[in-house]
Amino acid sequence: MFRRVKYKTESDFEKLRKSAQVVAVTLAEVAKCIKPGVPLTYLDQIGEECIRDHHAVPSFKGYEGFPSALCLSVNDVVVHGIPKAGDYLQDGDIISVDCGALLDGFHGDFAYTFAVGEVSEEVRLLMERTKESLYKAIDVAVAGKTVGDIGHTVETYVGQFNYGVVRELCGHGIGKDMHERPDIPNYGKSGYGDRLQEGMCICIEPMITMGSRKIYMENDGWTIRTQDHKPAAHYEHQLAITSKGTEVISSYKLLGEVIGTNEKY
């Protein structure tokens, strides 16, 4: 189906900032509970309660039948992991917590990959460099640049470490629908693809693998895993392209206070 870019007004952006704030608070609440031995279903419950406490609705729950409020993706699960009874966090795991919240008609959607206990140095670097690729992408995400500039930036940065860039899934426009145009792939050619313009709200979300970029979907129709079962990291920020420039409306600052990191955005 042909979909147009839906441009936002300043009043739309104001609502999008509030939805993103609910996600920021929720990720911080979930962050408080991330430690070895914690059931994934408990994290999902904490997340859903926090979203609803803020009078918002979990964007993911029921989306094309998705069963949980959060996407909880551990180790070789790249994205769209579903918390199941009997799944517990273990020391040395990494977990991408992706959260969406619908408030006043607009969606917030962003994600952070957390370390559980002590992770190996190579896994720590995968996380750090995936987040850095997102920051580099944010730097080029200004009106007049293209989605190809964003993808090329991510791909070039992580390529030097021989990581894989997942191609089957990508970032996206966001607003009244969680997934709007344009698609924002994490690979591409500079200067190609849709051009960023004032009034766009976009999510950039690199999904980077330690080994091969090849993935598969489990029989549940959701869970995306690396074929070689090496770990993957995933970070997502939400940006408003306004007349005053690009504003990162998502924030890791609150979760950073919980886990003791100083986050750039």
Residues that bind Mg ion (CB under 5 A): 98, 109, 111, 203, 236
User: Which helix (H) or strand (E) is 51 found in, with range?
Assistant: helix 40-53
Smallest gap from residue 68 Cβ to Mg ion (A): 13
Nearer to Mg ion, 7 or 66 (CB): 66
Whole-number Å distance between alpha carbons of 69 and 200: 26
Answer yes or no: are the C-beta atoms of 184 and 204 closer than 8 Å. yes
Nearer to Mg ion, 93 or 109 (CB): 109
Smallest gap from residue 25 Cβ to Mg ion (A): 16
Closest listed residue to residue 165, CA positions, set 129, 235, 212, 203: 212
Smallest gap from residue 91 Cβ to Mg ion (A): 26
Nearer to Mg ion, 155 or 236 (CB): 236
- Tokens 């970029």 belong to 213
Report the residue number whose CB is nearest to Mg ion.
98
Nearer to Mg ion, 111 or 150 (CB): 111
Q: Residue 251 burial (CB < 10 Å; 0-12/13-18/19+)? A: buried
Smallest gap from residue 149 Cβ to Mg ion (A): 19
Nearer to Mg ion, 183 or 228 (CB): 183
Tokens representing 50 are 């926090």
> Strands of 164-165's sheet, edge to edge?
164-165, 207-209, 232-234
Q: For residue 239, give the amino acid letter.
A: L
Nearer to Mg ion, 44 or 109 (CB): 109
Handedness of CA 137, 201, 73, 119 (dihedral sign): positive
Smallest gap from residue 58 Cβ to Mg ion (A): 12
Whole-number Å distance between alpha carbons of 119 and 14: 38
Smallest gap from residue 37 Cβ to Mg ion (A): 26
Bridge partners for 111 per DSSP: 98, 236
